[in-house]
Amino acid sequence: MTVYFLGGGNMAAAIIAGMVRHGGYAIHVVGRNAAKQQQLAERYGVAISSTLPALNADDVLVLAVKPQDMQAATAGIDTGGALVLSVAAGLTTATLSRWLGGSTRIIRIMPNTPGQVGMGMAGLYAPAHISAADKAFTETLMRTTGQVLWLPEEDDMHRIVGICGSGPAYVFYLLNALQQAAQAQGFDAAEARRLSLATFNGAVALAAAADTDFAQLQQNVTSKGGTTHEAIETFRQHHVAEAIAEGVAACVARSRALGLQFAADTQEVR
């Protein structure tokens, strides 16, 4: 059995990193970006090519190209009965099946880039006809990147995209903002980066260890009239929490829009 990746971008790299770290997988990356493929080959020791070899039922094909490029990328592919795992946000199993010549052995996965360091969170969805063996294999594979959550409905994948799939970008955005704020207070770039990372890492570790609501943890360090209170009140005045919620909602809406854009017909639109 070989796990073939169609596309070698960030999401593919996150999954490949976990698989290599765990060991025991034969991995082959297919793509048009020769530089990226060479980097993957050198870093992880995977096989690479510009075209997809013939597949059979024992193989796995991971679709890891952008949703907008998926139809062109899958044109003419004969899955040979292989298990197909799709990373593409918004694209339903029905749409993918249509593009893959009627193949229905398809599971959708939505990992995130922290999978590169074994700290990922992946949402998984399998239609009712998918075998228990295929679901078990997919879960085992994705657990090499971190945690997994099976979703009961395909529409739930849009929400996973908004929270976990795109979520690391939100954290990096906040990290960058804190680093810039630290530099504005007179710390140099290296010090600001170190302070920001340590603060985020420490807060996340404390939250994970404590059986306490996030809101209560925030209150625990927010004395009325104190220094933290001034910062939190400023965030509230600028509606930071509301802006984050609106951003997540916009991400989910975009995922749904992509699904509608490529839907085969009105029966596929829910």
Could you tell me the CATH number of the domain that includes residue 138?
Answer: 3.40.50.720
* Domain tally, the chain: 2
Residue 32 CA to residue 26 CA, distance in Å, equals 20
Q: 225 labelled as ligand-binding?
A: no
How large is the average pLDDT for residues 65-88?
Answer: 95
Whether 25 and 56 share a structural domain: yes
Q: Has residue 266 got a pLDDT over 70? A: no
pLDDT computed for residue 270 by the predictor? 41
pLDDT computed for residue 99 by the predictor? 95
Whether 8 and 86 share a structural domain: yes
Instruction: Determine, yes or no, domain membership for 80.
Output: yes
Q: 9 labelled as ligand-binding?
A: yes
pLDDT computed for residue 267 by the predictor? 45
pLDDT computed for residue 258 by the predictor? 85
Instruction: Determine, yes or no, domain membership for 263.
Output: no
Whether 118 and 214 share a structural domain: no
Whether 100 and 34 share a structural domain: yes
Whether 127 and 186 share a structural domain: no
How large is the average pLDDT for residues 65-93?
Answer: 94
Q: 135 labelled as ligand-binding?
A: no
Whether 147 and 211 share a structural domain: no
Q: 67 labelled as ligand-binding?
A: yes
Instruction: Determine, yes or no, domain membership for 249.
Output: no
In which domain, by residue range, is 205 found?
167-238
Instruction: Determine, yes or no, domain membership for 268.
Output: no
Instruction: Determine, yes or no, domain membership for 176.
Output: yes
Whether 27 and 78 share a structural domain: yes
Please tell me the pTM assigned to this model.
0.89
Q: 23 labelled as ligand-binding?
A: no
Categorize the per-residue pLDDT at 259 as very low, low, confident or very high, splitting at 50, 70 and 90: confident
Q: 8 labelled as ligand-binding?
A: yes
Q: 10 labelled as ligand-binding?
A: yes
pLDDT computed for residue 183 by the predictor? 98
pLDDT computed for residue 240 by the predictor? 97
Categorize the per-residue pLDDT at 143 as very low, low, confident or very high, splitting at 50, 70 and 90: very high
Whether 7 and 134 share a structural domain: yes
Q: 186 labelled as ligand-binding?
A: no
